[in-house]
Amino acid sequence: MARVLLAMSGGVDSSVAADLLRADGHEVIGVFMRHGSAASSCQDDTDPSLPIANSSHQGCCTAADAEDARRVARALGIPFYALDLSDDFGRIIDYFVDEYARGRTPNPCIVCNHWIKFGRLFEYADSVGAQYVATGHYARLEAVRGEVALLRGADATKDQSYVLFGIPRALLSRMLLPVGRFAKTDIRARAEKLGLAVADKPDSQEICFVAPGEHATLVGRRLREQGGGDRSGDIVTVDGRRVGRHSGVEHFTIGQRKGLHVALGTPHYVVRLDADRREVVIGPRSALACRRLTADRANWLVPPPSRLECFVQIRYRSEPVPATVTVEEDRFVVEFQKACYGVAPGQAAVCYDGPRLLGGGWIVSSN
């Protein structure tokens, strides 16, 4: 029997993950990651053999989520702790603000997985003698030719492998993803059979530290606190015509159509963001076509290749596109076999061989 540290969010997936791990004979320790600054009503079920985490902050998903996670842990008979990771999470918010200020589109969920869920959680796992760290992500881990491979989840509609590309390859053998082999409907059915109150709890769909549609407000406020000046600028077409004004590039992302507040007779999309000139460049959908991109800060979950034919996914919910990837140190160039639309600097380009995730990096440019 192995000791497993399980990240519990208070949702149905991580709750059922706890039961699946327990059914496999593991000793499960549930942890909830608190990222906020307000006091939480969640009480910890403590075990004197384990270190006590600082519990003066509430979780990013609300105190109610922390309470849901605690109740599930109690119902399943596993110890539960709340970890104060507010300082670490502050780095993620800083990254989020900085990326938008630079005219890039951030993906804080990937960064959270890299820095916190499979960063700090492994440190805590080591401190409590846990051999594994588990989460409720819809992805799979399987042995392929003698090494652990990360694969897409069995439920294609819920696959979350894309957001896990940044996990260090050396940690794959210490990860467990128990729900990845199931369909979402099976997970909800198991939760209902167990009598868990979270069985029909809606999935979290938004960034956990900012309300839906309020990211630009957060970015603008943080930049003003840092002494930033006027962020307004022009909306221009790809042929250089000035057709409108905007209050900050953080309100836009590549491929965006709604919210441009310009009437040109035909649909226009955000094609490029120039933060230095404070310009939002718009054009027809054809102007979004991309045949090539460059990514940096590459992370490979296979022996680092020099060149490979694979499928590349450029957004969490986008379709993977066949491409040739050429690798040089921590950068790689993707040449698509057909036009790819909506490539946004700041997002991740993730490489797949069928269901297997090979690696990925952060998009820095495209053409």
What is the set of active-site residues?
112, 208
- Within 8 A by CB and 6+ apart from 111, the residues are 92, 95, 166
| Residues 245 and 280 sit within 8 Å (Cβ to Cβ) | no
Q: How far is the C-alpha of 107 from the C-alpha of 110, rounded, in Å?
A: 6
CB 38 within 8 A of CB 60: no
* Beta-carbon contacts of residue 24 (< 8 Å; ≥ 6 apart): 178
CA distances from 184 to 13, 153, 240, 296, 318 (A): 8, 10, 48, 34, 20
Q: CA-CA-CA-CA torsion for 271, 274, 277, 283, nearest 10 degrees? A: 0
Q: Which two tokens stand for residue 253?
A: 């992302």
Helices (H), 195-333: 215-225
